[in-house]
Amino acid sequence: MFNYDNQQIFQAIDDLNYDTDIVSTGITFRGFTVSKDSNPIKNTLNVCEKLFSSEVYGLVVEDASPSDSIIYTTTFHNIPTIGISSREALLSDKSIYTTYGRTVASYANQADVWVEILDHFNFNCVVFIHSNDINGRRVQKRFEVLADASNIKVETVIEYEPSFPDISKPLEETKLSSTCRVFIVYTDYEDSAAIFQQIIHLNMFDAGYVWIVSEQALMAKNRPTGLLSVKLQNVDNTEGHIRDSVFILGSAIKDMYFKNNITKPPSDCRDLGRNKWESGLRLFEYIKKQSLSPGKTGHVAFDERADRIDSEYEIINVNNNQMNEVVGQYHYSHSTSKMILTLNESKIVWSENSPTKPFGYEVPNHFRVATINEKPFVWVSPADVDGYCPPRQIPCPLFNSTTGTEHKFCCEGYCMDLLKTLAFQLNFTYSLHQVEDGLYGGFSFVNNSQRKVWTGLVGELYYNRADMVVAPLTINPERSLAIEFTKPFKYQGITILQKKQSIHRLRHPLASFLQPFRNGLWVSVFVSVHVVALALYLLDRFSPFGRYKLPNCDATEEDALNLSSAIWFAWGVLLNSGIGEGTPRSFSGRVLGMVWAGFAMIVVASYTANLAAFLVLDRPETPLTGINDPRLRNPNPDFNYSTVKDSSVDMYFRRQVELTNMYRRMRTMYENAEDAIAAVRSSIVQLVDQSLPQNINPLIFADELSAFIWDSARLDFEAAKDCELSTSGELFGRSGYAIGLTKGNSFWTKKVTLALLGMHEIGYMEELDNKWIFLDEQICEERSENFPATLGLKNMAGVFILVGIGIFAGIGLIMFEIVYKKRSTSKQKRIELARNAVDKWKEVIESRKTLIENLNQSAKQRLFQKRKHRYNQSLKHDETYDETYFETPFDTTPYTVEKGLNAIKGDLSDKSQEIRPRLRREGSLGSESELNVSQIDLQFPKITGNTKSSFKSSKSRTQIPSATTNYLSLV
């Protein structure tokens, strides 16, 4: 111990030895003191010669300057050292002071209290001013970490060189460019007066400004009224720090004694490589874990650097009399086991003696409002030729930074009506514009660093290009870090949009009945039918046991199995129709028939079973049940889903670890909701290729989008006006649409929030819903999914069409058959009539020929009898004849058969009268045709021994058909 009353030191050690909770039986702590010298070399020699020789396990040092040599020597040999007075940030560097800790808070710990004060007063922005030294940089770093965790935006950081605090220019720029009016200054006592002088010169202590300074600056004589600061308590309580340090060392040694073997510490400073105490490093780790509550200086605990945490502070305010007045405390609460801030706000005096708390930022009355094209919340249409908008619409130009041009548009919708109502109620003006990139707002890291770049509407606010965002902007944690949100004006969640239609395995539902078999199998079955039919015909034709070869068989050729009958048989077996005729007779043909019947049974059974399965499965796809639906978690190649890039839904998927795989499976991130909804309706959508430069905007094509994941408010609107679309599953990622403002603008955030709550209470939001969201709502037919799928005409239309084609084909064939049969029958009848006529003529001619022959015979007989009679008469009268008289050939002359010829002509006339009407009915003779047999001349030559008759016919006015003539010629 250095430079302290020995009585205080030994009293603390005695108290430790008598504390049985810390010191176990058999353990005794001893104290040893050495006075500190102003010469650092002497201090180092005292450590090596006096302290190390006493085998010191721990050191408590008054570490105010000059103490660096002592601390460096002890920590170099790993002797745990606890300081009780130094607050410099350098001592927190463990690369130099490996085993050093302290019971007094460092200057950087003031940042903890500053953040609590800002949270208490709802100051969400700050301008931070600090010295460019190790203390200032350490305070700034600690403050930024804590402010980021508390959603406090550090708008500007101003650094100055110690001893040269020239901050006038950056302060003036901040005053003009920033609306934030909360300033925090970390400065030493030497620079504080100069800094205050510059602030006063810029009139930045006027009403509306808030100044919080370090405790060193409170000692400046020109400190202005209204300052807030902090002051560490117990910083001068030397006895308390000594006692707390001794008890911390004792507790750490006790804990280590029962768990680790403690070796002896170094006894001198020689042989530096061997005298580093390894047990000292482990003992220091136990020291960092100790806590003492209550200690003489309050709750004692350490962070990972062995710096004191949970130190208690007083909140100081400079009042009207330029006096430092305590207005609150930052202290440890034993009931909650954490630090709490208590303030008496009625005592606080703000800048220019104002009793009212400033807003913390400059309150504007005119807002630059940004929006985005998103139906039905914002409908965008081009302005007229003069650039003007109708009265109910608001001008909302779109600026193109690439070309430097501004395009005139007009906006209306849900959010535009809301904006006009808010402006009227809260009495502010506005100028509206559309966000250039058309995005809601996301962030990306620049060159894989930790620096975020915001896009879209959030970027408009973050980079001060807009003061307010009135659009369907979803609240989420990432955006809340960059901008302010009001209470939601519409509550919603995330849902899924699908199209109501069946997802068929074939592209056209008319071919549903063909689905069980592939095209190749259908062709194979069709070919097999005709191949088997041909094989059956050939087997039955050439088999010795077929109908063609069976002996003593009554079957005719028509009863045999021809090729047509074989095809009919093959189709009949396949289609399970009755086969009454034309079956194979041969054994080989019947074997093939049985095999074909088995094939047909298998094919028909397989088709029937597979068709039933396909028709049951071929039903409208069940809607997605939600975000956990297997089709989303493990989608097949034909099912794809997506959302909009850099939107709240996009950030939601990136934020949720369990949705990482789903996010990676999204094939295409759409530029806006319009394109995605169009992709759900149709199979092709226009997208922007992001790999090309911004000035090139080609179109690429994507597959049909099976599901679109987006905000429920927009998707409900689309499903309400289009019955082909539906939302699926329960809402997830519930949030709301809110109005965005710049960070730290809590005044307007509260006012707009209160106005929105009032609109909810009076039903104004419901009016906007009915006016814009449910305007085109249609009554869609609801279909219950609790019943099995039933087949309709749409499923079986292909079969009906096939039957219709067969019917029309049959009608065409039968018409062809009727015409063909009529022509063939007419021709056959003409041939038959000619044949009958020829047969009749033949009969008549034959009969008359026989008659003539009979007449000739009769004539010969009569002549013979006559001659015989004459011969007999001559014998009676004694006349003599030559024997050759009877052998003389008969001379038959025409007149001897005149009566026979007349008889023949009469008979022929009768036959012609009988034949003529029949020929007229059948069309074989014309109306004027006659069959005249009166000119038929029969001439019989004279009868000789070889008598022959010649028949000649001549036609006079007789018309005989060519077919008949040919036949007569043939005969």
Asked whether the bond before 80 is cis by omega within 30 degrees of 0, the reply is: no
What does DSSP say about strands 707-711 and 950-951: parallel, antiparallel, or unpaired? unpaired
Please count the CA atoms within 13 angstroms of the CA of 45 that sit on its side-chain side. 6
> Do 482 and 461 form a contact (C-beta atoms < 8 A)?
yes
Environment class of 429 (CB within 10 Å of its CB; exposed 0-12, middle 13-18, buried 19+): exposed
- The token pair at 727 is 């939302």
> Do 263 and 277 form a contact (C-beta atoms < 8 A)?
yes
Contacts of 623 (CB under 8 A, 6+ apart): 498, 726, 728, 729, 785
Contacts of 313 (CB under 8 A, 6+ apart): 110, 113, 230, 231, 232, 233, 329, 330, 331
Q: Would you call 630 helix, strand, or coil by DSSP? A: helix
Q: What is the dihedral of CA 272, 277, 281, 286, to 10 degrees?
A: -150
Residue 907 annotated as lining a ligand binding site:
no
Q: Where are the alpha helices (DSSP H) in 59-159?
A: 68-76, 110-120, 134-149
Q: Would you call 63 helix, strand, or coil by DSSP? A: coil
Residue 920 CA to its chain's centroid (Å): 86
- The token pair at 321 is 């009399």
Residue 700: which of 679, 684, 723, 681 has the closest Cα? 684
Give 709's strand partners. Answer: 496
* Distance (Å) of CA 309 to CA 105, 305, 343: 7, 10, 21
Cα(375)–Cα(674) distance, integer angstroms: 9
* Distance (Å) of CA 616 to CA 134, 795, 844: 76, 11, 81
Give 81's strand partners. Answer: 59, 100
Residue 751 CA to its chain's centroid (Å): 39
* Distance (Å) of CA 287 to CA 33, 75, 309, 893: 21, 14, 14, 173
Instruction: Reduce the secondary structure of 926-939 to three states and give it as a string.
Output: CCCCECCCCCCCEE
- The token pair at 387 is 């650039």
Q: What number of other Cβ atoms are within 10 A of residue 231's Cβ? A: 15
Residue 833: which of 920, 901, 900 has the closest Cα? 920
Cα(944)–Cα(667) distance, integer angstroms: 119
DSSP string, 311-357: --EEEEEE-TTS-EEEEEEEEEETTTTEEEEEE-GGG---GGG--SP
Cα(577)–Cα(599) distance, integer angstroms: 15
Residue 142 annotated as lining a ligand binding site:
no
Residue 474 annotated as lining a ligand binding site:
yes
Beta strands in 199-322 (DSSP E): 210-213, 228-232, 292-295, 298-302, 308-309, 313-318
Helix (H) or strand (E) holding 24: none
Distance in angstroms between the alpha carbons of the first and the last residue of the chain: 161
Block residue for tokens 């650092």: 40
Cα(783)–Cα(810) distance, integer angstroms: 41
Q: Where are the alpha helices (DSSP H) in 155-235?
A: 168-177, 189-201
Residue 492: which of 477, 479, 478, 473 has the closest Cα? 473
**Binding site: which residues?**
472, 474, 479, 648, 711
Binding-site residues for L-glutamate sit at: 472, 474, 479, 648, 711
